[in-house]
């Protein structure tokens, strides 16, 4: 069970920790997909990136609970 984390007197619940941790993971994945050129085949890039961020967040939340 993940615990609350404190930064400068502000408590972050586990969901906020996962959301913050997902940002660099998402940016790395997005950079890699752009570098390989797979985003050329995506119809709506913003929707794809939003869905990718949600998938990264969900994966981190599932891993944090294990």
Kindly give the pairing relationship between strand 5-7 and strand 10-12: antiparallel
CA–CA gap between residue 61 and residue 63 (Å, rounded): 5
Q: Is 19 exposed, middle or buried (0-12, 13-18, 19+ CB in 10 A)?
A: middle
pTM above threshold 0.75: yes
Per-residue confidence in pLDDT tens, the chain, 66 aa: 567 778 788 888 888 888 999 999 999 999 999 999 998 999 999 999 999 999 999 999 999 875
């Amino acid at each position: 069970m993940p615990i609350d984390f404190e930064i400068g007197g502000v408590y972050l619940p586990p969901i906020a920790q996962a959301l913050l941790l997902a940002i660099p993971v998402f940016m790395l994945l997005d950079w890699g997909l752009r570098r390989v050129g797979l985003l050329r085949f995506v119809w709506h890039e913003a929707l794809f990136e939003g869905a990718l961020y949600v998938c990264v967040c969900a994966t981190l939340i599932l891993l944090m609970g294990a």
